[in-house]
A and B are shown apart, each in its own frame.
Chain A
Amino acid sequence: MKMLKRIATAGVTIGLAVAVALPASAATADGSFTATCDPANYGFATNGTAYQHSTYGTISVKQTASSPQVTSSVKVTSQNGNSTPVVNVSDGATAKWTGVLTGQYKVYARSSSGVNCNGAWPGNGNYTFSYTITY
């Protein structure tokens, strides 16, 4: 039940996709979403928030917190389905990609390995991935 509730919450969050306003230069934003602790069976998750990267340069995503605490695999994906290489980050660590083309991008994450985030409940469950993006 707990896992189903988390999945439902994630669905609502994902449905509320928001396009962020154009920044004149590098900007930062915070976000969070529910992601899987079972990467063998579930895909990357996103909150659907799109960030407008307006100048060539670096995009970085810092994992500010995770609950329960896990190491995440993180990537950024374009509207055409192109993605950055996946980078694994723990709490306080930053994934960074240089020389990024201008465009509108979303953050994706999932646990880097199978972890029990669900206690005694069946399945590995989910975790909350919190991040700060610089774009």
Chain B
Amino acid sequence: MVGRFTALAIAATFTLAGCTHAETSIDGVDQAKLAGLPSDVVAERLADPVFVENLSGFPLGERTGVVQLNVASAIFCRDLYGQYEQWTITATTPHVPSVATPDTPEPGFNEFMAQWSSSAQKAIDAGDPAELRSYLLLTLGCRDTIVDPRDAEKRTVAELLEGR
């Protein structure tokens, strides 16, 4: 069975190294292959209990790629949300965020992020902030991304856009 004890195992394998630097260890995740991605975002995503539970449902061999994509897409969504806000305030037309890419992308990484970039480009090209807002609210896209991890309330893109 997928996930047999994995959530517990993952929770049990969190390790703290030193007093000022936290390092997360998760079964199946090759830390070396996360090089090139911002370490603070990597640590933040690997500390998100919802993501960690979802990650436990993936085969061990796929987990590194899932983490790479989750980190890159979180950065992508935060950037795009910020640009949407600027668009509505200053009328500055957004651009598709550059993709944070690990030094050694797992198979499927480039294709996945290219698809996200393409769909975001279409939303921008529509020339209407409402289109980009709708894009940001799509399920399984940017909708549930925490905009600012330092925010104590951990508000998501949807919560901010919908005023919740």
Contact = CB atoms under 8 A, between A and B. Distances in A.
Nearest to B144: A82
Contacts of A7: 1, 4
For B2, B54, B73, B139, the residue with the greatest tally of chain A CB atoms inside 10 Å of its CB is B2
For B6, B54, B112, B119, the residue with the greatest tally of chain A CB atoms inside 10 Å of its CB is B54
B140 A105 contact: yes
28 contacts: A11-B1, A36-B1, A36-B4, A41-B5, A41-B8, A42-B1, A44-B2, A44-B3, A44-B57, A45-B1, A45-B2, A46-B57, A56-B138, A79-B65, A79-B108, A80-B66, A80-B72, A80-B112, A81-B69, A82-B54, A82-B144, A83-B140, A99-B134, A99-B137, A100-B139, A101-B140, A103-B112, A126-B1
Interface string B71-114: 01100000000000000000000000000000000001000100
Given A46-B2, A102-B115, A81 B58 contact: yes
For B55, B56, B134, B140, the residue with the greatest tally of chain A CB atoms inside 10 Å of its CB is B140
Nearest to A33: B2
Interface in B1-37: 1-8
Contacts of B108: 79
A10 interface: yes
A11 B2 CA distance: 7
The 5 closest A-B pairs by CB, nearest first: A43-B3, A80-B69, A101-B141, A101-B138, A100-B139
Interface of B: 1-8, 50-51, 53-59, 65-67, 69-70, 72-73, 108, 112, 115, 119, 134, 137-141, 144
Contacts of A43: 2-4, 6-7, 53, 56-57
A98 interface: yes
A7 B1 CA distance: 5
A83 B52 CA distance: 11
- Chain A interface size range: 35 or more
Contacts of A26: none
A22 to B, nearest CB: 12
Given A46-B57, A77-B57, A84 B139 contact: yes
Interface string A18-48: 0000000000000000111000011111101
